[in-house]
Amino acid sequence: MRLARAIVGAGLLLAACSPAAPPILPPTVTVPVPATPPAPSADAPRATPAETAQAEIESRKKVRAMIARVARARGLPALREVPIKVLNRDEILARIKAHVDDDVPKESIVDEGEALAALELVPPSYDFLEGSYKLIQGRIAGFYEPADGTMYLVDDLDDDEAEETLAHELDHALQDQTYPLAPMMKYAPGQSDRLGAAHALVEGDAMSAMYDVVAGSAFNVNDKLFQGLATASTALSAQGSAAPYVLQASLIAPYSDGFSFVQALRLKGGWPAVDQAWRALPETTEQLLHIEKYLAREPAIVVPVPATDALGAGFHAVLDDVMGEQSLRIAIEAWAGRAAAIPAAAGWGGDRYVVARRDAGGQHEIALGWHLVFDTDKDAHEMAAVLEKRFGKACKERDLLGPIAWASKGRDVAIAGGPFERRAAGAPPASASTCKAIAGWPRAMLAAAKP
């Protein structure tokens, strides 16, 4: 979910970090239990400061050797030294939190979580922000910080993990030295899909360069297998299995989708074709997922922000954004499974969602409106079939989250969730409406659609 990605992504994206890479396997091997970093535990022995300092000296030597290898494999010049700091997981997470605090408005993360709740993609009382941080903390192996040009490495990696992480993060350093990362990844309201596409290029480039270094060639790695492994390894980690599917999938998607994109470019024109993409970034995750649409620069259909008038007086929009094909695919995976998701999401043409809020006496109500436009009527019918299976023919009433209603016409599909009432923090919400009362909203969204 793009919503999830803004925060899950933010930690990883702004810091450009790497989850522990899945093990490298020849394409024909059956999938074993992938290696995952151990869960942080209060009882686990911690490195002493002296041990940490020694590890940093060792690491600095390794960095010099590795950056030369990555520069050669990737074909980017090493223009500056890259300092390295070895930190424990708590310290790494503290840095990521500080980074997200500086860059992403907290309310927008909370509102994204509300949109996910309205769509039944996270539990109604789920703490989206904390859950995302927990997932990152368990998965992270290191990150590169564009703000200070430094790479940070977790102190509990085994030798193979450390080598892969160094190669991956040092590719980010080389990227940053040639194509400054900070401006292209900076949070921008309403631009989540565009940022998601750029983020995936950044991660895909780093995965591909990493495999060139540690596996001889990234073409020894089957990208479909990579996807399955990465998903499995997150689901098997203690934090991953506790996290809702959309968060796990959003964490992995930039790496797996980005890797497929970069491999497709390399097949066409080697690393120079990838450099060309850095100079002309994919604009949507639709372009990222379909290289022919990237090469044709197929634009997204511009969808107006859904008006909230149909909700009644007092509601105002607090967040609006584009979900994009990648997040739509992840949502459908969560609702209906992966086999249904890829074809149903592939017809994405454009979308816009709004989170609306009404405040009253220390409590507030939340509702979500989401307007999607597909490439063809047939694509919209596929989406409608997914919604019908999950939410009933036109509307379903829910005790906690209020009604969820949907409608379609031609290429357009509109979904309305809520309103539901939020009382005390952490307490379950309560429905604040009915199917009868909300039925006009999806119809109003469709009425605003271009013919």
User: Would you tell me which residues interact with Zn ion (CB under 5 A)?
Assistant: 16, 18, 203, 206
- CB 171 within 8 Å of CB 206: yes
CB 63, min distance to Zn ion, A = 16
Q: Are 368 and 416 in contact (CB under 8 A)?
A: yes
Pick from 67, 60, 84: nearest CA to 148: 84
Amino acid at 148: D
State how far the Cα of 379 lies from the Cα of 243, in Å rounded to an integer.
30
Query: Minimum distance between the CB of residue 86 and Zn ion, rounded to whole angstroms?
Result: 17
Nearest to Zn ion of 164, 203 (CB atom): 203
Q: What is the DSSP letter of 27?
A: T
Alpha-carbon Rg for the chain, nearest whole angstrom, is 22
Tell me the CB-side half-sphere exposure of residue 217, using CA atoms within 13 A. Answer: 8
- Closer to Zn ion by CB, 210 or 404: give it: 210
Residue 113 C-beta: closest distance to Zn ion, Å: 24
- The residues near 198 (Cβ < 8 Å, ≥ 6 apart) are 184, 185, 281, 282
Give the nearest distance from C-beta 360 to Zn ion in angstroms.
Answer: 44
| Residue 257, burial from CB neighbour count under 10 angstroms (0-12, 13-18, 19+) | buried
| Shortest reach from residue 92's CB to Zn ion, in Å | 14
Report in angstroms how near the CB of residue 139 gets to Zn ion at its nearest.
12
207 vs 383, beta carbon nearer Zn ion = 207
Q: How far is the CB of 69 from Zn ion (least distance, A)?
A: 17
- Nearer to Zn ion by Cβ, of 172 and 194: the residue is 172
Q: How far is the CB of 133 from Zn ion (least distance, A)?
A: 18
- Tokens 């309201």 sit on residue: 189
Give 254 or 347: the residue with its C-beta nearer to Zn ion: 254
Q: Which two tokens stand for residue 322?
A: 């584009």
For residues 96 and 115, which CB has a smaller minimum distance to Zn ion in the complex? Answer: 96
The residue length of the chain stands at 451
For residues 112 and 319, is the Cβ–Cβ distance under 8 A? Answer: yes
For residue 309, give the 3-state DSSP assignment.
helix
Nearer to Zn ion, 205 or 321 (CB): 205
- Token digits for 443? 């119809």
Minimum CB distance to Zn ion smaller for 16 or for 214: 16
Question: CA-based angle 99:160:130, to the nearest 5?
Answer: 30
**Residue 329 near residue 335 (C-beta atoms within 8 A):** no
Of 176 and 286, the one with the shorter C-beta distance to Zn ion is 176
**Helix H or strand E segment including 55:** helix 49-74
Min dist. Cβ of residue 16 to Zn ion (A): 5
Structure tokens at 65: 């050797």
Closest chain position to Zn ion (CB): 18
